[in-house]
Amino acid sequence: MRRTCMTAVLFTFLTFCSMAFGADLPWEMKLPFKEATIHYELKGSQQGSETLYVKEYGKLRAKHHKASSTIMGRTTASDTLELIDPDWVTTYNLTQKTGEKFTNPNKLYLAEYSKFNSEEKMNFEKNAKEYGASMMGNFGGSVKQSSAKILGYDCDVATMGGMSTVYIMHGSGIPLRSEVAVMGMANTVNATQVDTSSAVPGSAFTPPVGITATVNQEMETMMAGNIQRTMQTLKRPDGVEAMKKSNPMLPAGVMPSSGDDENNPMDKEEQQQMMKNMQEAMKRMQQMKPRQ
């Protein structure tokens, strides 16, 4: 429950950060290529590989991750598959034979946005960008465009609060290298191959046989309520001020404390999961197209 909620908060938080650095609404954004296969090598406290498959300009994504992690001298293996489509975000743990999913937050945002009149849409877009920029400012983010080259691609170099550096394929929002250090753990994810010409296999998006992803209804209700309240607040002319006062979605949701409370601290596996979520947060926040 805690890990899935952390991931859901991460997705909803990044929605507003994306609007701070781009002109498009998050649910309208698409990549500059229709499909691609990108291979990554993982080094540091987590060693292994990832393959990201993209189809339909980013509407469909499948990330295959296989690695071993070492925390405080303890080594654990991870083998996961994350599938994203317009309706669901689904994660399978292939080692434990479990699966969890939650509604794609963009679907919920779009449903609320479609209810707004023209004035409310204008208020929301203006307020969401301002609020997202405010949250990003809390992390001390910066971007230097086309300042590096990886695998023949010009890359923007993004840094975030001294915790990470990400090299992003210019004009695509795709990270080719990320260096993240959080809670004494350091990870590097480096692209070794980018293939935009070969067809992406349909099997990459096939759920694993014998594993059923379950929906946590409690988490679904919580996320839907938070999104609805946030959207209703940001459609108002004073939406940013109201959001800052209520703070329904703090940046701390991306970087939680060492446990839910002092009587329920995170175990080592959960610390590694938080590190992974944090790394994803940094990569996604820094994938946002900067203002020209």
Residue 259: pLDDT above 50?
no
Write the Ramachandran bin of 218: left for phi over 0, alpha for psi from -120 to 50, otherwise beta: alpha
More confident residue, 278 or 256: 278
CATH tag for 2-285 (out of 2.50.20.10, 1.10.357.10, 2.60.120.620, 3.90.1150.10): 2.50.20.10
Give me the pLDDT at residue 36, please: 93
- Check: CB of residue 178 under 8 Å from CB of residue 166: yes
Nearest to 144 by CA among 135, 155, 160: 155
Give me the pLDDT at residue 12, please: 59
Per-residue pLDDT of 93-102, as tens digits, reads 999 999 999 9
- Check: CB of residue 189 under 8 Å from CB of residue 279: yes
- Check: CB of residue 109 under 8 Å from CB of residue 254: no
Q: How far does Cα 129 stand from its chain's mean position?
A: 18
Give me the pLDDT at residue 285, please: 43
Q: What gap in Å lies between CA 42 and CA 66, rounded to an integer?
A: 9
Per-residue pLDDT of 46-78, as tens digits, reads 899 999 999 998 889 999 999 998 777 788 899
Give me the pLDDT at residue 248, please: 45
Give me the pLDDT at residue 52, please: 94
Kindly report the number of other CB atoms within 10 A of residue 256's CB atom: 18
Q: What gap in Å lies between CA 178 and CA 42, rounded to an integer?
A: 10
Q: What gap in Å lies between CA 134 and CA 131, rounded to an integer?
A: 5
Q: What is the DSSP-derived secondary structure letter of residue 262?
A: T
Q: What is the mean pLDDT of the chain?
A: 77
Give me the pLDDT at residue 262, please: 38
Domain boundaries, the chain: 2-285
Q: What gap in Å lies between CA 134 and CA 121, rounded to an integer?
A: 20
43, exposed or middle or buried, with CB in 10 Å at 0-12, 13-18, 19+? middle
The angle at the Cα of 38, spanning 36 to 43, to the nearest 5 degrees, equals 165
Give me the pLDDT at residue 255, please: 36
Give me the pLDDT at residue 219, please: 80
Tokens of 75: 């080594």
Q: What gap in Å lies between CA 208 and CA 41, rounded to an integer?
A: 23
pLDDT band at 128 (very low <50, low <70, confident <90, very high): confident
